[in-house]
Amino acid sequence: MIFDVIRNRRSVFPVQYNGKSIAKTDIEKVLEAANWAPTHKKTEPWRFRVMQGEIQEKLGLFLSLKYLETDPSPKEFKAKKLIENPKLAGAVIAICMQRDPMKSVPEWEEIAAVAMAVQNMWLACTELGIGAYWSSPGLIKHMGEFFDMNENEACLGFFYMGHYDGEIPDSARTPIENKTVWL
């Protein structure tokens, strides 16, 4: 039931992945789920770049070197994490937004549509038993140096995917009544 999938969705981080590869057919299912996100004026702004295998290692190296180059006081542990996380994942998907050239909707609506596409991806991963995590480091502004991007396209982060062993801990939320005003 959809409510169970929503409640069971969790961030599962790369260090929790077991190294098992993710089938292309599962990635395609996840991307197809993304494609059905709501989109104002049907601009469908989501764009994805799927990385598996050797390109993941290159991504980690790029991110780490870019971090060391641009951060005035880099931390060794962060540089190492940037190298390792892509290699730990079964797949990394760059989450991008292609701005409508007509600017028929405000940019925030395009970003929201991409976020809804990512939520669909996350729910699909939950249903498939695949762990996932959306990372949005400041380094995403440099992704045009790593892969070709179209004019008015922006990278919004990385969707890490991986199989994991064991149980993911339950999560808690404060009651919705604390966040709702009935008028």
Binding residue numbers for FMN: 9-11, 40, 134-136
What is the SS3 assignment for 104?
A: coil
Q: Measure Cα distances from 30 to 36, 79, 93 in Å.
A: 10, 29, 11
Strand partners, 160: 92, 133
Q: Is 116 exposed, middle or buried (0-12, 13-18, 19+ CB in 10 A)?
A: middle
The DSSP result for 42-75, as a single string, is G---EEEEEE-THHHHHHHHHHHHHHHHH-SS--
Q: Tell me the two tokens of residue 115.
A: 């976020």
Residues that constitute the known binding site: 9-11, 40, 134-136
